[in-house]
Every structure is written in structure tokens, then in C-alpha cells.
Amino acid sequence: MSQRIIRVAVDAMGGDSHPQVEVEGVVDALVDYPNIVVSLVGKEDLIGACLEKIASGRNSDHSRTKAIPHIRDRISVINADEVIEMGESPSHAIRTKKNSSIAIASKLCRAGDVDAVISAGNTGAVMASSLLYVGRISGVSRPAITALFPSKNNPVAVLDLGANTDCKPEHLYQFAVMGSIYVSHVFGIDRPRVGLLNIGEERGKGNELTDGAYELLERSNLNFIGNVEGRDILEGIADVVVCDGFVGNVLLKFGESTFGFITTQLKKKVVRSPLLMAGGYLLKPALRELKQDMTSEDYGGAPLLGIDGVVIICHGNSTPLAIKNAVRVARQLVIEEANEQIKQTLEKKTA
């Protein structure tokens, strides 16, 4: 393990319960990972009050209060007067709010003052800010949002999840390269299996985009396993699944809604009989655990791959655990120089 100090900027104003969740998650991360320093970016007074509260033992986990004296010097607070709200138009917000927390975090990354940026804010704004201030890795045409879907085996990295609604075959090839490098570092999988999301297994299925992407993937050095269908994702047939951002976004949001839907429908049936209710009661711990498996808080957020710095987007409803895990993944990607590998692979290809 490298002894290098990893510097992370955390947008403290992004999530639904900002800045408390961000501050708590950062404290937890600093306890677990000694070689990290964090800049909390946002309204200084609010962040300060949060840290104060934790230090004084009011309104927080006791273990955090005990930890604060040991980690406090690894936290710096950087003021940002403006906040981009969830509902704002990303491009407009980035143009007009140059002192927003995400803009300032991105600028820190651009200036080389931090290695990674984490935000649970407006996804479009994080993307726009990353593109504008941090920029792309040389050789990357389109950065892509990557999320992990659960599966029978390892989690499956699906990209793009909404950064690019109209794609060309070359973009899908690049997503496959970036996804493979990400998965190999975060899950230690050697030569991850790459699948092209399509409407049939056979070659020649699909549309112009998948036709072209199939050819590029087949000729590449990636471990390309061919087309995969919607049903193959949860089966864990591939480690990386590539698609355009429209399909990916629809799939992600649909997928996120399924567990809640199934449990709601189940509850409606269960209340009809005492025996079923007893069954539901006994099964609760397993259902709760399953829900945790299905949500992403263990996975450490969705990296925006292709940006020339590590950028991780967390869910608006992130918990401190989700923020902490995002810090863990950011640290891993920085230490293992994932971006340098993406650059080398794509430059070789274009050269």
C-alpha cells in the first residue's frame, strides 16, 4: 500500500441532508483511512457547526466524538457561498453559480490541490462542472457515469447511466475500456468480462449503434463476451455492461424502483392473514439485508469515468456510510492510478 497522502474534496452541500451526512461520512472515512486528507467545501458556518456538534458530543454518534481530536487536523473547510439545488438546470447553474460548492471543489481538482471530488448533489451539475473545470482525460471523447448493479456474482458496472443520451460506437468502446479498468481496480477482477447491452444474443441484433460497437469491441484487447440482454445483468454474466446513457438511465431508475415495488406489493398481501404477517415479521431481517444489498451505499457511489481527476457522484439520499465508501473508492482509484491507465489504453488505440 502506498504511503502517499490522498487529497479529497467533498462537496458538503450536495446531499438531501447536507452538510451533516457529508461531514459524518468524512469523519468515518478519516478514522478508517489514515493516508487521506479532506477538504469540506460549502457554507463554512454550517460545516463548522456540524463539526462542532460532533466534537461536543451533541446530536451524533459517540465514536465520532471520540475520533474528532485524532482526525480534526486532516479536515480543512473551504468556503463556498453558493449551492446548486437538485432541481436546477445543470448548464445554467454552472454558468451562473461560479462559487457553488461543486464548482469550487472542481477548481481545486483542476489546480492540483486535490486528487478527487465527491458530491451527492445534482448529477448534471457535477458532470457539467467536472467537464468545465477539470476536463477530460486525453483520448476520452465522452466521460460516462458508471453505477454498480447487484448480480448473482459480483456487482456489475453499467455505463453510461445518463451523461450521454446519443452515442457513437467509439463512445461505447471507450466506456468498455474505462469500465474494465474501474472494475479491475475496485473488485480486483482480472480481465473483466465486457458485454454489449442489446435486444438479442446473436450478432447483428440491435441498431446501428450496437452494430458498430460490436465490431470495435470484438477487435479490441478487452475480454468482450458479445451481446447481453436486459435479463443477463442480474445474472452476472458480464462484469461490465455498456450502453448509451438513455438506455442506462431508464434501466437504472427502473431497477432502483423494483425492490420497493415488490416489497410494497408483498406487504399488501401479507396484511390479509395473521400467518402471512408472522412470516413477514420473521423474514424482516433478511428483507432489510437484501434491501441494503440492492442499494448502492456499500459500493461507494458512481464514478464519472473519463474526467482527468477522480470524480464520484453519490445518491442525493446518501448515508454517512455511502459517503465514507465513496471516499474509499476515490482513494483506491487515485492510488492505483486508474486514470493514467485509461489514458494509456485510449491513446495507444488512437495512435
Residues 259-278 that bind its own copies (CB under 8 A): 259, 261-262, 264-266, 269-270, 275-276, 278
Helices (H) and strands (E) in the chain, counts: 13, 11
| 113-152 residues near its own copies, rule: CB under 8 A | 150, 152
Q: Which is nearer to its own copies, 63 or 258 (CB)?
A: 258
DSSP code for 74: G
Using the contact rule CB under 8 A, the part of the chain among 31-39, 41-49, 109-117, 257-265 near its own copies is 257-265
Tell me which residues in 193-212 interact with its own copies (CB under 8 A): 197, 199, 202, 206-208
Query: How many Å apart are CA 45 and CA 308, to the nearest integer?
Result: 31
Q: To 10 degrees, what angle do helices 44-56 and 20-32 make?
A: 60
Dihedral sign computed on CA atoms, order 38, 312, 175, 151: positive
In terms of CB distance, is 26 or 127 closer to its own copies? 127
Which residues have C-beta within 8 Å of that of residue 243, sequence separation ≥ 6?
158, 159, 160, 172, 196, 197, 251
Question: Nearest approach, Cβ of 257 to its own copies (angstroms)?
Answer: 4
Kindly determine how many residues on this chain lie close enough to bind its own copies according to the rule CB under 8 A: 57
Cα distance between residue 157 and residue 238, in whole Å: 9
The answer to whether 102 touches 312, Cβ cutoff 8 Å, is no
Which residues 6+ apart lie within 8 Å of 35 measured at CB? 2, 3, 4, 5, 6, 331
Mark residues 16-55: x for contact with its own copies by CB under 8 A, - for none.
----------------------------------------
Cβ nearer to its own copies, comparing 65 with 295? 295
Q: Which of residues 220-249 bind its own copies (CB under 8 A)?
A: 229-235, 243, 245-247, 249
Q: Which residues bind its own copies (CB under 8 A)?
A: 89, 150, 152, 162, 165-166, 197, 199, 202, 206-208, 229-235, 243, 245-247, 249-259, 261-262, 264-266, 269-270, 275-276, 278-287, 289-290, 293-294
